[in-house]
């Protein structure tokens, strides 16, 4: 009797582990090579995302803002539905809700379609099906997998503790 119960339990465990959801290779934190206003995108397994564009203020401090919402993906396309916003600053730089809302409306439409190519730890995002680069379009370009401090290309001050600990110049 013990053998039958043990075999049944072992079979149940094997069945359940074989049915677990596989993690998408897109689920991670992705950061852009350092530029004047680099972007960081966090794609979560819950189908939600958070993006931030990093800015340097006149006083030398950093602040970041961007959309939050949900995303879905197919074999070559990501669709972002923006439903909220996020903001962080490492100093007294402060944006009021109205200014932040206006900046987000100017830069991020409520729905964005992005075509992508994934090559190892590099994610390319494009705003067109021909996969041509289009500079200065939000959520497009070359992104690296992982927190910004894990990439030697990252030269910014910090990302406000959202994705990594403080990184010095």
CA distance 116 to 121: 13
83 by DSSP, 3-state: which? strand
Rg (CA), the chain: 20
Supply the pTM of this predicted model.
Answer: 0.73
**Opening angle at CA 156, ends 49 and 136, nearest 5:** 60
User: Locate tokens 């403080």: which residue?
Assistant: 166
Structural domains in the chain plus CATH codes:
23-150 (2.40.128)
Instruction: Report residue 21's pLDDT band, with 50, 70 and 90 as the boundaries.
Output: low
The residues pairing with 142 across neighbouring beta strands, listed in sequence order, are 124
Q: List pLDDT tens digits, range 85-99.
A: 888 876 655 667 777
Which residues are bridge partners to 167 per DSSP?
A: none
The pair of structure tokens assigned to 14 is 């094997």
User: Does residue 137 register a pLDDT over 60?
Assistant: yes
Residues above pLDDT 90, as percent of the chain? 34
pLDDT tier at 126, thresholds 50, 70, 90: very high
Q: In which residue are the tokens 């497009």 written?
A: 140
48-83 pLDDT per residue, tens: 999 988 877 777 777 788 999 999 998 889 999 999
The pLDDT of 145-152, averaged and rounded, is 67
8 A C-beta contact, residue 25 and residue 12: no
User: 68 with 85: CB under 8 angstroms?
Assistant: yes
Sign of CA dihedral 98, 102, 103, 104: positive
Contact 159, 86 (CB under 8 A): no
């Amino acid at each position: 009797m013990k053998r039958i119960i043990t075999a049944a339990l072992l079979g149940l465990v094997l069945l359940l582990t074989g049915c677990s959801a596989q993690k998408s290779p897109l689920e991670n934190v992705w950061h852009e090579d350092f530029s004047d206003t680099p972007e960081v995108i966090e794609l979560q397994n819950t189908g939600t995302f958070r993006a931030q564009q990093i800015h340097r203020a006149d006083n030398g401090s950093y602040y970041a803002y961007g959309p939050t919402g949900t995303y879905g993906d197919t074999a070559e396309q990501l669709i972002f539905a923006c439903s909220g916003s996020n903001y962080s600053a490492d100093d007294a730089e402060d944006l009021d809700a109205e200014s932040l809302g206006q900046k987000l409306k100017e830069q991020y439409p409520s729905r964005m379609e992005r075509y992508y190519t994934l090559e190892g730890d590099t994610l390319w995002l494009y705003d067109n099906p021909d996969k041509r680069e289009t500079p200065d379009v939000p959520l497009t370009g070359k992104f690296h997998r992982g927190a910004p401090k894990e990439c030697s290309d990252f030269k910014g001050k910090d990302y406000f503790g959202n994705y990594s600990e403080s990184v010095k110049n």
